[in-house]
């Protein structure tokens, strides 16, 4: 907040000098200098794997730096654990919440605190927590269990945990990745309040528009090095993207107009169970045509994942029908769906998508191993048993081509898939699903955790597939992604479709309200869009 | 008649006590995320240590302490393997079991040969006043030392687990070690200490079984009690009081079946004696099946913790 700090520079609270952290095979932080100032939002911008989180984990005492020094308010410090960092007024909210789901808010907040003694008076603690919450305008029931809370509320608990420990510096690691637009707005207001109180806030992100909105000062990291330091007034999205990626990036997605073709997929009154034995998808109906992207806008956990899994055959359908190219595939096994050209790009890449101990090449041909040139017939075994011999040369040559086309790094066909970065692993998944000429692509969070370049690539690839006549179901918690890629968007809330529209027809606020369950469109209006 | 019932309950509680001690110890270990399948082996080591110490010194207190101490030593060995080296807990636990099984028997045979040697069992101590309550007094308050220990220790452990900052830390480490770590809880220390504590109780359980129940040592003295103790943790849904209840069910069934063996034999049903020997196991299996349904273990049970 420039006007409050005069020249925009508060006192330095934390100074990190020449920080180096090496992991096997990579230098995650390569001589990084950083200062965190009082009353200022410092954005740490960079692609995945740029070293942002590593740097902050060092400041929080989770990692030990190999080289470099840290000063807090002018004094040299060494943090051996988060306890040391907390004692020096550093707090951190991790991207994946570090809350104990089976405990109450109170228990989570006082965890590790000594101030309440061995037999803490939880009532007193709850009062103290409510007090701190009031100070920043949070409404939180201290006796609620964490599993009862929404993502936005969990984040508030995380922030409370830090504030309760009277932090001077609050690190927020990709804090908006799980939030609805309204939650994000609220979070930004909270950040402003904290900064006005004199805290230093570190905002880790790879989202340019958010950084432009909230940051006072921006430090850009690329491959472990600082490649840019600028005040927000000096920055613009184009410049930041260029710094981050190291080359010119086209932020706009080029999406040529395309007239949707015949109906590819028809879903009638689909009901699907979730993991907890309750209906997660409660009777949804929609259509996907050739040459269109249908996006799903929803907060995580509203049935979109179960819907995708049911369409691919990973989850049993309780009621309703799935018609694909005019045929009922409700009960068809996955292998048949794959053969018919249905592809899934799963969210949990290492669970459902890739075999981490297999090589990149093997992962790429997993679903097509019975085809030339990946395997060849052999005498006796092939005619008698249908067994074929792997053709290593064919597999490797194909893998090399795909690796080059999708710019997978490191470019070795025999590299274990489990050791790839998230972005590169996702490229392998996308390549595998698209290179076999799929007609219906179910993409679950296809760009989650990907860097700008990989995100751009995956989006382009999906649009290209759509333009060439495939149908795409795009599930993403990145609302701007859904709106910019999709031809039609449906909003899901608690397993139902509560709205459907074409991008541009509704405002972000209206969409946000529907995602939060505060508003829904009449059913006839929703049905109209699929005609 | 009432006398018989009181003595059946008395014996049942005595028998349940070693099981309860081992089980609540395991509750603490599992609450912080470590499953210790070596309980049986540690009980056997506790038994032989207590037996030998009592035989040599003639001092029962030293016997109990020897059981406790050997439990801590085995706990250190196990926590070194499972927490420090991050070995698979099932494999490490089975290793501890086999080590305890073989070593306890080896020690006994080396020191005592094949003879059964008995020691003087500790006396049952009546609690002045309370022992005079009809039936209850005789059942509950004319007991062995470790029985009185469980009366106090298990409620205290329950209270610590749910109401103290120690308990919050232990539970947090088992549910989400990263959350505990980022809040400044020393995850490794908590895991080590709960394992040592659980093993110490297992060692003491072995001592109680040997000194109070059998009064002698023989190969495989525990005949599976250590594994039942681990099962009771699931039965009790990781709650010390409920695990204790499970132990009491086992103890009572055992006591009833032992009491019925003689009359059945005399009434000309020798085959029923074998059935009676089997009964406690049947009851405990059924109880486990019924009570363990829907039990939700600590989320990070069995998962070694590492920061990077």
Does residue A398 share a domain with residue A338? no
Within a domain: A252 = no
What is the arithmetic mean of pLDDT over B182-202? 96
Report ipTM (2 d.p.).
Answer: 0.84
Stretch 147-186 of chain A: residues touching chain B, C-beta under 8 Å: 161
Closest by Cβ to B164, choosing from A63, A100, A118 = A118
Q: Does A83 touch chain B (CB under 8 A)?
A: yes
CB-CB under 8 Å, B183 with A82: yes
Same domain, A274 and A374: no
Do residue B171 and residue A100 have CB atoms under 8 angstroms apart? yes
User: Cα separation of B278 and B258, whole Å?
Assistant: 11
- Residues of chain A found within 8 Å of residue B184, distances taken between Cβ atoms: 81-83, 86-87, 112
CATH number of the domain bearing residue B282: 1.10.3470
| E strand or H helix at A201 | strand A200-205
Look at residue A3 and tell me whether its pLDDT is greater than 50. Answer: no
Domain boundary among A415, A430, A448: A415
Residue B302 placed within a domain: no
Reported as a single tens digit per residue, the pLDDT across A287-319 is 999 999 999 998 888 999 999 999 999 999 999
For residue range A163-210, list pLDDT tens digits in order.
999 999 999 998 987 788 888 999 999 999 999 999 999 999 888 889
Instruction: Please give the pLDDT value at position B73.
Output: 98
Residues A505 and A487: their CA atoms lie apart, in Å, by 11
Does the N-terminal peptide bond of residue A407 adopt cis geometry, omega within 30 degrees of 0? Answer: no
- Supply the pLDDT for residue A247: 74
d(C-alpha B4, C-alpha A382), whole Å: 77
Interface probe, candidates B158, B168, B175, B188, chain A, greatest A C-beta count within 10 A: B168
DSSP A450-491: --HHHHHHHHHHHHHHHHTT-EEEEEES-HHHHHHH-SEEEE
Which of B163, B171, B307 has the CB atom closest to A62's CB atom?
B307
Interface of A with B in 5-64 (CB under 8 A): 23, 60, 62-63
Q: How far apart are CA A391 and CA A373, in angstroms?
A: 7
Q: Domain with A479 in it: what CATH number?
A: 3.40.50.300
Residues 6+ apart with CB under 8 A from A116: A110, A124, A125, B165
Top mean pLDDT of A68-72, A91-95, A429-433 is at: A68-72
Closest among A108, A222, A91, A223 to A163, alpha carbons compared: A91
pLDDT at B291: 83
How many C-beta neighbours within 10 Å does residue B217 have? 27
Cβ-nearest to B184 among A63, A102, A112:
A112
Domain membership of residue B305 (yes or no) is: no
Q: Is residue B300 part of a domain?
A: no
The token duo for A300 is: 């995580």
Strands A90-93 and A263-273: unpaired
Q: Is the pLDDT assigned to residue A489 strictly greater than 90? A: yes
Query: What is the distance of C-alpha A394 from the center of its chain?
Result: 35
* A258 falls within a domain: no
- Chain centroid to CA A9: 33
DSSP-assigned beta bridge partners for residue B142: B126
Instruction: Nearest chain A residue to B176 by CA: give it.
Output: A100
Any bridge partners for residue A32, and if so which? A19
Mean pLDDT of B228-244: 95
The residues that bridge with A42 in the sheet, in sequence order, are A202, A217
Measured on CA atoms in the order A295, A298, A301, A303, is the torsion positive or negative?
negative
Check whether residue A334 and residue A379 sit in a common domain.
no
Q: Which residue, among B118, B107, B121, B97, has the nearest Cα to B219 in the 3D structure?
A: B107
**Cα separation of A52 and A451, whole Å?**
12
Rounded to 10°, the helix B89-112/B60-79 angle is 140
Q: What's the start-to-end Cα distance of chain A, in Å?
A: 50
| Residue that has been written with the tokens 């799929």 in this structure | A438
Residue A492's DSSP bridge partners are A497
Spatial contact of A354 and A364, defined as CB atoms under 8 Å apart: no
Contact predicate A167/A495, CB 8 Å: no
**Nearest Cβ partner of A103 from B166, B172, B308?**
B172
Residues of A in contact with B174 (CB under 8 A): none
**A249: part of which helix (H) or strand (E)?**
none
Q: How far is CA A356 from CA A48, A446, A503, A523, B193, in A?
A: 19, 18, 37, 44, 35
Residue B112 is predicted with a pLDDT of 94
The answer as to whether A4 is a domain residue is: no
The answer to whether B226 and B41 are in contact (CB under 8 A) is yes
Residue B16 belongs to some domain of the structure: yes
SS3 (DSSP) at A288: strand
With CB atoms and an 8 Å threshold, state whether B181 touches A82.
yes
Query: CB–CB of A100 and B185 under 8 A?
Result: no
Q: Is the pLDDT assigned to residue B43 strictly greater than 60? A: yes
Q: Examine the domain organization and report whether A276 and A149 are in the same domain.
A: no
* Residue B277 pLDDT > 90: no
A27-66 tens-digit pLDDT: 889 999 999 999 999 999 987 778 899 999 999 999 999 9
Residue for token pair 């329950």: B158
pLDDT at A1: 34
- B183: nearest CA partner in chain A: A112
> Using the beta-carbon criterion (under 8 Å), do B183 and A99 form an inter-chain contact?
no
Distance from CA of A81 to the nearest CA of B (A): 7
Task: Evaluate whether B285 touches B158 at the Cβ level (below 8 Å).
Answer: no
Contact residues on chain A for B178, CB-CB shorter than 8 A? 94, 98
- Collect all residues with Cβ–Cβ distance below 8 Å to A28 and sequence separation of at least 6: A21, A22, A51, A54, A224
pLDDT reported for residue A263: 94
Residues A76 and A165 placed together within one structural domain of the fold: yes
Percent of chain A, pLDDT > 70?
A: 96
**Contact across the interface for B169 and A112, Cβ inside 8 Å:** yes
- Select the residue of B163, B179, B184 nearest A100 (Cβ to Cβ): B179
Chain A residues closer than 8 Å to B168 by CB: 103, 107, 110-111, 120
Give the span between the Cα atoms of B54 and B60, in whole angstroms: 5
* A114 lies within 8 A of chain B by CB: yes
One domain for residues A488 and A511: yes
Q: Domain range for residue B37?
A: 2-291
Query: Dihedrals φ, ψ of A387, to 5°?
Result: -80, 145
Same domain, A438 and A338: yes
- Given a cut of 80, is residue A24 above it in pLDDT? no
Longest dimension (CA), chain B: 68
Contact call for A119 and B164, based on CB within 8 A: yes
> Which domain range does residue A219 map to?
12-245
Q: Is A81 on the interface with B (CB under 8 A)?
A: yes
What's the length of chain A? 531
Residue of B nearest to A60 (CA): B182
pLDDT tens digits, one per residue of A66-82: 999 999 999 999 999 99
Angle between helices B225-235 and B187-208 (to 10 degrees): 130
Put simply, the answer to whether B165 touches A114 (Cβ < 8 Å) is yes
Once rounded to an integer, what is the mean pLDDT over residues A74-96? 93
Q: For helices B187-208 and B60-79, what crossing angle results, to 10°? A: 140
Assess if residue A253 is contained within a domain.
no
Distance from CA of B211 to the nearest CA of A (A): 35
Residues in B closer than 8 angstroms to A86, CB to CB, are: 183-184
- Given a contact cutoff of 8 angstroms between Cβ atoms, the answer to whether A234 and A38 are in contact is no
Q: What is the pLDDT, as a whole number, of residue A508?
A: 85
Residue B254, in any domain of the structure: yes
Q: A101 contacts in B (CB within 8 Å)?
A: 175-176, 299
| Residue A51 φ/ψ region, left for φ over 0, alpha for ψ in the -120 to 50 degree band, beta for the rest | left
Contact B179/A118, CB-based, under 8 Å? no
Inter-chain residue contact A92 with B163, CB threshold 8 Å: no
Name A248's Cβ contacts closer than 8 Å, sequence gap at least 6.
Answer: A242
Structure token pair of residue B35: 């499953």
pLDDT at residue A9 in the model: 62
Residues in chain B closer than 8 A to A100 (CB atoms): 171-172, 175-176, 179-180
Contact call for A81 and B299, based on CB within 8 A: no
Work out how many domains chain A is built from and give that number.
3
Instruction: Quote the number of domains for chain B.
Output: 1
Mark whether A45 and A110 lie in a shared domain.
yes
Asked whether residue A143 falls in the same domain as residue A274, the answer is no
End-to-end CA distance of chain B: 65
- Is the model's pLDDT at B165 over the cut of 90? yes
At which residue do the structure tokens 């040139």 appear?
A373
What band does A250 get if pLDDT is binned at 50, 70 and 90? low
Q: What is the mean pLDDT of chain A?
A: 89
DSSP secondary structure letter of residue A416:
B
- A239 CB near a chain B CB, below 8 Å? no
Do B308 and A63 lie within an 8 Å CB cutoff?
yes
- The whole-angstrom distance between A494's CA and the closest CA on chain B is 25
Does residue A235 sit in the same domain as residue A320? no
Measured N-to-C along each axis, helices B145-163 and B187-208 cross at an angle, to the nearest 10 degrees, of 160
CA–CA distance, B213 with A128 (Å, rounded to integer): 52
pLDDT at A18: 95
Give the mean model confidence (pLDDT) for residues A222-242.
91
Q: Which of B182, B186, B306 to mutate to test the interface with A (most CBs of A within 10 A)?
A: B182
Task: Judge whether A324 and A298 are in contact, CB under 8 Å.
Answer: no
Q: Which residues of A touch B163 (CB under 8 A)?
A: 119
Q: Please give the backbone phi and psi of residue A327, each rounded to the nearest 5 degrees, phi first.
A: -115, 145
Residue that the structure tokens 């060092």 belong to: A58
Residue B29 has pLDDT above 90, yes or no: yes
Say if CB A251 and CB A208 are below 8 A apart.
Answer: yes
Output the pLDDT for position A4.
Answer: 35
**DSSP tag of A359:** B
- Write the pLDDT tens digit of every residue in A107-152: 999 998 888 989 999 999 999 999 999 999 999 999 999 999 988 8
Nearest CA in chain A to B190: A112
Contact state of B168 with A103 under an 8 Å Cβ cutoff: yes
Please check the confidence at residue B102 and state whether its pLDDT lies above 60: yes
- In chain B, where do the E strands start and end? 125-126, 142-143
CA torsion angle for A361, A363, A369, A375 (degrees, to 10)? 20
* A304 and A345, same domain (yes or no): yes
Partners of B175 on chain A (C-beta within 8 Å) are 100-103
Position B308 confidence tier, pLDDT thresholds 50, 70, 90: low
The pLDDT confidence band at residue B274, using thresholds 50, 70 and 90, is confident
Q: A423 and A383: one domain? A: no
Question: pLDDT tens, A354-395?
Answer: 888 899 999 999 888 888 889 888 888 888 888 888 999 999
Are the C-beta atoms of residues B154 and B161 closer than 8 Å to each other? no
Mutate to test the interface with A, among B156, B178, B179 (most CBs of A within 10 A): B179
The DSSP call for residue A419 is G
Chain B: residues touching A (Cβ < 8 Å): 163-166, 168-169, 171-172, 175-176, 178-186, 296, 299, 307-308
Rg of chain A, C-alpha, whole Å = 25
**Cross-chain Cβ contact B184/A86 below 8 Å:** yes
Do residue A101 and residue B175 have CB atoms under 8 angstroms apart?
yes
């Amino acid at each position: 907040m420039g006007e409050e700090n005069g020249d925009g520079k508060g006192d330095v609270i934390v100074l990190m000098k020449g920080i180096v952290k090496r992991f096997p095979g990579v230098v995650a932080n390569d001589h990084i200098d950083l200062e965190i100032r009082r009353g200022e939002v410092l954005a740490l911008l960079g692609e995945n794997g740029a070293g942002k989180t590593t740097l902050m984990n060092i400041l929080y005492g989770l990692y030990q730096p190999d080289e470099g020094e840290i000063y807090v308010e002018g004094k040299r410090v060494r943090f051996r654990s988060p306890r040391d960092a907390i004692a020096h007024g550093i707090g951190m909210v991790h991207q994946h919440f570090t809350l104990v789901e089976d405990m109450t808010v109170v228990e989570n907040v006082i965890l590790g605190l000594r101030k309440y003694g061995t037999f803490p008076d939880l009532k007193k603690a709850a009062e103290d927590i409510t007090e701190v919450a009031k100070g920043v305008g949070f409404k939180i029931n201290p006796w609620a269990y964490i599993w009862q809370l929404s993502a936005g509320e969990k984040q508030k608990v995380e922030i409370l945990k830090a504030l309760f420990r009277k932090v001077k510096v609050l690190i927020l690691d990709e804090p908006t990745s799980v939030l609805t637009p309204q939650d994000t707005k609220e979070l930004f207001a909270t950040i402003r309040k904290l900064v006005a109180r004199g805290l230093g806030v570190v905002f880790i992100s790879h989202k340019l528009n958010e950084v432009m909105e909230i940051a006072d000062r921006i430090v850009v990291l690329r491959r472990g090095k600082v490649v840019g330091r600028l005040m927000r007034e000096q920055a613009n999205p184009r410049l930041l993207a260029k710094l981050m990626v190291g080359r010119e990036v086209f932020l706009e997605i080029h999406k040529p107009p395309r007239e949707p073709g015949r109906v590819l997929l028809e879903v009638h009154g689909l009901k699907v169970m979730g993991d907890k034995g309750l209906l997660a998808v409660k009777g949804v109906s929609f259509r996907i045509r050739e040459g269109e992207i249908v996006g799903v806008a929803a907060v995580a956990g509203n049935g979109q994942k179960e819907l995708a899994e049911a369409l691919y055959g990973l989850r049993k359908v309780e009621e309703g029908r799935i018609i694909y190219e005019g045929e009922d595939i409700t009960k068809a096994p996955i292998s048949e769906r794959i053969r018919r050209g249905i592809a899934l790009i799963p969210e949990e890449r290492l669970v459902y998508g890739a075999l981490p101990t297999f090589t990149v090449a093997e992962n790429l041909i997993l679903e097509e191993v019975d085809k030339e040139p990946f395997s060849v017939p052999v005498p006796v075994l092939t005619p008698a048993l249908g067994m074929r011999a792997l053709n290593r040369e064919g597999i490797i040559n194909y893998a090399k081509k795909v690796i080059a086309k999708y710019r997978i790094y490191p470019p070795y066909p025999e590299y274990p898939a489990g050791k790839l970065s998230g972005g590169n692993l996702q490229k392998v998944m996308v390549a595998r699903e698209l290179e076999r000429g799929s007609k219906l692509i179910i993409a679950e969070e296809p760009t989650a955790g990907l860097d700008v370049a990989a995100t751009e690539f995956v989006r382009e690839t999906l649009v290209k597939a759509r333009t060439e006549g495939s149908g795409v179901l795009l599930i993403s918690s990145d609302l701007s992604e859904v709106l910019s890629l999709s031809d039609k968007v449906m909003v899901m809330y608690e397993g139902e479709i509560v709205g459907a529209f074409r991008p541009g027809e509704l405002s972000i606020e209206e969409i946000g309200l529907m995602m939060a369950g505060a508003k829904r469109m009449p059913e006839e209006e929703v049905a109209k869009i699929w005609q | 008649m009432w006398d018989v019932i009181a003595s059946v309950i008395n014996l049942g509680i005595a028998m349940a006590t070693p099981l309860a001690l081992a089980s609540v110890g395991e509750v603490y270990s599992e609450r912080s995320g470590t499953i210790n399948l070596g309980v049986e082996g540690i009980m056997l080591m506790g038994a032989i240590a207590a037996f030998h110490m009592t035989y040599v010194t003639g001092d029962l207190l030293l016997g109990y302490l020897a059981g406790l101490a050997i439990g801590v030593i085995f706990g250190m060995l196990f926590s070194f393997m499972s927490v420090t080296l991050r070995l698979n807990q099932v494999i490490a636990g089975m290793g501890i079991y086999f080590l305890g099984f073989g070593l306890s028997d080896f020690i006994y045979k080396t020191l005592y040969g094949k003879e059964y040697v008995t020691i003087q069992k500790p006396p049952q101590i009546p609690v002045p006043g309370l022992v005079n309550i009809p039936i209850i007094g005789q059942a509950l308050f004319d007991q062995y030392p470790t029985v009185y220990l469980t009366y106090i220790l298990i409620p205290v452990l329950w209270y610590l687990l749910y109401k103290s900052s120690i308990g919050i830390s232990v539970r947090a480490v088992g549910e989400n070690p990263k959350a505990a770590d980022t809040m400044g809880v020393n995850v490794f220390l908590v895991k080590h200490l709960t394992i040592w504590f659980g093993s110490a109780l297992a060692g003491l359980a072995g001592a109680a079984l040997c000194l109070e129940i059998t009064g002698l040592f023989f190969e495989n003295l525990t005949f599976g009690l250590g594994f039942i103790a681990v099962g009771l943790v699931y039965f009790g849904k990781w709650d010390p009081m409920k695990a204790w209840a499970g132990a009491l069910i086992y103890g009572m069934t055992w006591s009833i079946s032992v009491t019925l063996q003689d009359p059945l034999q005399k009434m000309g049903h020798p085959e029923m004696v074998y059935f009676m020997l089997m009964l406690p196991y049947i009851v405990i299996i059924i109880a486990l099946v019924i009570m363990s349904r829907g039990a939700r273990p600590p989320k990070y049970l069995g998962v070694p913790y590492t920061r990077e």
